[in-house]
Structure 1
């Protein structure tokens, strides 16, 4: 079976949404951003959901939104915390190739600048480095394709994803 969706995973700031839009245009596919779906369904920003309901409830909401997705031939940008749900990842893998947009920790920090209001699922006593170190092995474990994004333009990353998808099908 040919998996038609391209699912982007990675740390906040890795460029999943930005790369996703450009990739979708370049491949003639519709684009879905699960973070935007969550915000639409909850009528709140991600950070507001986390502040009001806590991280565990946010992760439950994220999992449900992903599980409700039933699309073919789309580019899907996920939230960085989707990696905590094996259920959601297995659902996405059924008809999708998982592409990990990999960045060094220093580059994540540089891109995020002020990440406090960004809606990152992170306990108050944890640092961004703690989250990075926890998530990277999970991203690597679930990825079908890994794209190292450091020092590359969006166009370079999109080209590399397209080439990798083509090679993956062969």
Structure 2
């Protein structure tokens, strides 16, 4: 059984364009909680856009920084919108799972591509020569591995997705 209580957080994972930043405030409002975007935490720390940070550090170092920040993350009564690459950091994911349930916001590859294109300027942690399609295929098993619940966000409105998440969370209250 997943531990879900007033002391928990709910983490949203998924590809860029899946709706993490859109759904986090909707789910948080429904729960009467706060929300936070981990990309904003990283940007605040460095004082740069995510793209500038990825460009400066490179993908391997960016993933290390992201994992370091999230593996010591602490909050309660918060819905967390994570960066899409968080699933590469096992320590970060273990920390998030220890703090509460993890929801995978799944979209089709076609929807991902239509929403983010080639990913230019989005701060995607892609190695040189990697395409968004390659990245999508690489990450899907990781998202599924860590997910406690999955919502196909390109099949429903943001409000309907938030409602599905809330209903699932409601079943976890003991």
Matched, 1:168 2:172: yes
CA contact (8 A) 2:104 2:144 kept: yes
Among 31, 36, 39, which residue is 1:35 paired with? 39
> Residue 114 of structure 1: CA displacement?
5.2
Moved over 3 A (4+): none
Q: Which residue of 1 aligns with 2:4?
A: 2
1:48 match: secondary structure: helix
Q: Is the counterpart of residue 64 in structure 1 residue 68 in structure 2?
A: yes
Listed as ranges, the gaps of 5+ residues in structure 2 are: none
CA contact (8 A) 2:4 2:169 kept: no
- Cα distance in 2 between the residues matched to 1:165 and 1:24: 12
Q: Deviations over 1:98-117 (max 9, x none)?
A: 00000000001111135211
State the distance in 1 between where 2:152 and 2:59 align.
28
After TM superposition, the score normalised by the length of structure 1 is 0.95
Which residues in structure 2 correspond to 1:1-170 (within 5 Å)?
Answer: 1-3=3-5, 4-113=8-117, 115-169=119-173
Count matched residues. Answer: 170
Root mean square deviation of aligned Cα: 1.3
3-state SS of paired residue (2:101): strand
Q: State the TM-score, normalizing by the size of structure 2.
A: 0.93
